[in-house]
Structure 1
Amino acid sequence: MLQEATSNVLRFHNYLQSRTDARVKDYLLMQSPVQMTSILLGYVLFSVYVGPRLMANRKPFHLKTAMIIYNLSMVLFNAYIVYEFLMSGWATTYTWRCDLIDPSSSPQALRMIRASWMFYFSKYIELLDTVFFVLRKKQTQITFLHVFHHSFMPWTWWWGITLTPVGGMGSLHAMVNAMVHVIMYSYYGLSAAGPRFQKYLWWKKYMTAIQLLQFVVVSIHISQYYFMEKCDYQFPLWIHLIWMYGVFFFLLFSNFWVQAYIKGKRLPTSDDGPKVNGTAGEHVVVVANGKHLQNGHAHHHANGKVLMGKVKEI
């Protein structure tokens, strides 16, 4: 039985080698699914088990400078990815309808390959989002949705750009996602910069709305395939998967929106309620270790009581 299982694994590995787009074989993390799967499994293990236990008896790290640099870098990197997607077809030769995959080695096709790989690789850099949460002991931010999204996205993209030539109408969701991340990391960068920038962060809850909008745009665009009289997209299976992906994540993020901003389960309790201008009212925030939050920062109180403090809505 073991010999048969080994034979099946080798046969599948050879199949992947034969089906892998030759234009992406030399890119980092594209040679084997073992590499990327190992990284992502390690990420999940660190996020939910190893990291929190390592930090359990340690003080949170203050990573302000590192976070500002990281977020600014991600803004610039995602902006560049969007530009490359546009120049590779979406702003030049694509119709935004039945755009086929270009399997050639033309300069534009190779540029699309490179843009797609950069998008794929950016997903591994984004794993640092969770590392920062762990090191700063922000474990409540590491939700199922957060971990699943960060691990599932790069895993599925490896199969997409390995087994099918990159490009065509199936690549729109990557460009849209990179656009969203330009906005997201701009927000995170301002947030990391300190209290003096808090007045510019009134639009935090709309970040989830922007996420929802991207899934609507992607789903509507890819749904065209089902209503076209003829569209010879070379790999229709990926059309179906992208549509299911858009709907699935729309439902997940919708649930988050309902829980956070309608039911208020992720909002701090308030005696006064939020003020009309969108800033938070006075909140009593009780923390298990006897600390209180004031303007978003933890401080010790000598008698162990909790003081009134202002905290921003999340």
Structure 2
Amino acid sequence: MNRAMFLMGLQHVINLPSFPLFCAYLLMIFLSKFWQKWTKPLNLKPLMILHNFTCCLASMYTLYGFINGLYNSDYIYSKTMTEELRFVYWVYWMTKIIELLDTVFMVLRHRQRQISFLHIYHHASMLLLSNVGYKYFPYPNIAIFLVLNSLVHVVLYFYYGLTAVMPNNPPRWRKQLTQMQILQFLLDFVLASYGYMYHNFCFYGLIYGITMTYLFSNFYYHAYVRQKKHPEDKLKSN
């Protein structure tokens, strides 16, 4: 991709309806440390329970919608738009806006340590990419990736919902959930590689998949592997 095409793509991103929200999201994160200094943490348990289970149900809908759209298409790498699939793309985009509340709740509850680079990168990038998909590429060839993402988010927000209900006794399958997320990105990479080689997929899609796989794998290593190798680190952090 040459410089002119890159600048054109950047201009398309800047013109997205989600771009001002993207900027406001980053600004909120920048100001969150000041908020923590000036305020007390809020108890948002009922709101978080409602939010997490709502996101779970919304992901169930997009999972069904994308699967149904793929079933009714000629080929999973098809670039033919249907109004049915376009509406599911719109719902998916809306879920990525709603999911920004994850970070808002962290800020209001003073959970600054949870606002990691992975968390910010994932939420901010998916906000823009979901908008790009809806506006420019509501095709089956992208829907196959969103099937996997919706499936993971059904499980993810179900886990978050249960954790909000029982914060002192959360589900014990958090590790398996992270493994599921990493598997999702590995499958994405296989599908995107085939699409790049035979269906003119954008190379930057592969780069994005690699970054997500690396970040989640790095999180998995530090959360589950390194702690077993160096249990004293956990003691030091307490």
TM-score (norm 2): 0.84
Q: How far does residue 76 in structure 1 lie from its aligned partner after superposition?
A: 0.5
The one of 61, 64, 87 equivalent to 2:45 is 64
In structure 1, the residue matched to 2:218 is 255
Distance 1:223 1:179 in 2: 21
The one of 136, 140, 149 equivalent to 2:122 is 149
Q: How far does residue 185 in structure 1 lie from its aligned partner after superposition?
A: 0.4
Q: How far does residue 122 in structure 1 lie from its aligned partner after superposition?
A: 1.2
Q: How far does residue 207 in structure 1 lie from its aligned partner after superposition?
A: 2.0
Would you tell me which structure has more helix in proportion to its own residues? 2
Q: Say whether the 8 Å CA contact 2:188–2:209 is kept in structure 1.
A: yes
Q: CA, structure 1 residues 204+152, in 2 after alignment: closer, same or farther (shift >3 Å)?
A: same
Q: CA, structure 1 residues 79+256, in 2 after alignment: closer, same or farther (shift >3 Å)?
A: same
Distance 1:204 1:194 in 2: 14
Q: Say whether the 8 Å CA contact 1:218–1:246 is kept in structure 2.
A: yes
Identity %: 29
The one of 195, 209, 229 equivalent to 1:246 is 209
Distance 1:182 1:138 in 2: 23
The one of 160, 185, 199 equivalent to 1:215 is 185
Q: Per the alignment, in what secondary structure is the counterpart of residue 263 of structure 1? A: helix
Q: How far does residue 237 in structure 1 lie from its aligned partner after superposition?
A: 4.2
In structure 2, the residue matched to 1:201 is 171
Q: Per the alignment, in what secondary structure is the counterpart of residue 219 of structure 1? A: helix
Q: How far does residue 161 in structure 1 lie from its aligned partner after superposition?
A: 3.6
Q: Per the alignment, in what secondary structure is the counterpart of residue 56 of structure 1? A: helix
Q: Say whether the 8 Å CA contact 1:222–1:243 is kept in structure 2.
A: yes
Q: How far does residue 39 in structure 1 lie from its aligned partner after superposition?
A: 0.8
Q: Say whether the 8 Å CA contact 1:72–1:189 is kept in structure 2.
A: yes
In structure 2, the residue matched to 1:45 is 27
Q: How far does residue 267 in structure 1 lie from its aligned partner after superposition?
A: 9.8
Structure of larger gyration radius: 1
Q: CA, structure 1 residues 160+195, in 2 after alignment: closer, same or farther (shift >3 Å)?
A: closer
Q: Which has the higher contact order (CA 8 A, sep 6+)?
A: 2
Q: CA, structure 1 residues 208+224, in 2 after alignment: closer, same or farther (shift >3 Å)?
A: same
Q: How far does residue 257 in structure 1 lie from its aligned partner after superposition?
A: 1.3
Q: Per the alignment, in what secondary structure is the counterpart of residue 61 of structure 1? A: coil
In structure 1, the residue matched to 2:80 is 102
Matched, 1:191 2:163: yes
Distance 2:43 2:67 in 1: 38
In structure 2, the residue matched to 1:36 is 18
Q: How far does residue 34 in structure 1 lie from its aligned partner after superposition?
A: 5.4
TM-score (norm 1): 0.65
Give the superposed CA RMSD: 2.8
Structure 2 unaligned segments of length 5 or more: list them.
1-7
Q: Over residues 269-311 of structure 1, what are the superposed CA-to-partner deviations in whole Å (9 max), with x where a residue is unaligned?
A: 249xxxxxxxxxxxx83xxxxxxxxxxxxxxxxxxxxxxxxxx
Matched, 1:131 2:104: yes
The one of 265, 269, 286 equivalent to 2:234 is 269
Q: How far does residue 249 in structure 1 lie from its aligned partner after superposition?
A: 0.7
Q: How does 1:65-80 map to 2 (within 5 A)?
A: 65-80=46-61
Q: Per the alignment, in what secondary structure is the counterpart of residue 172 of structure 1? A: helix
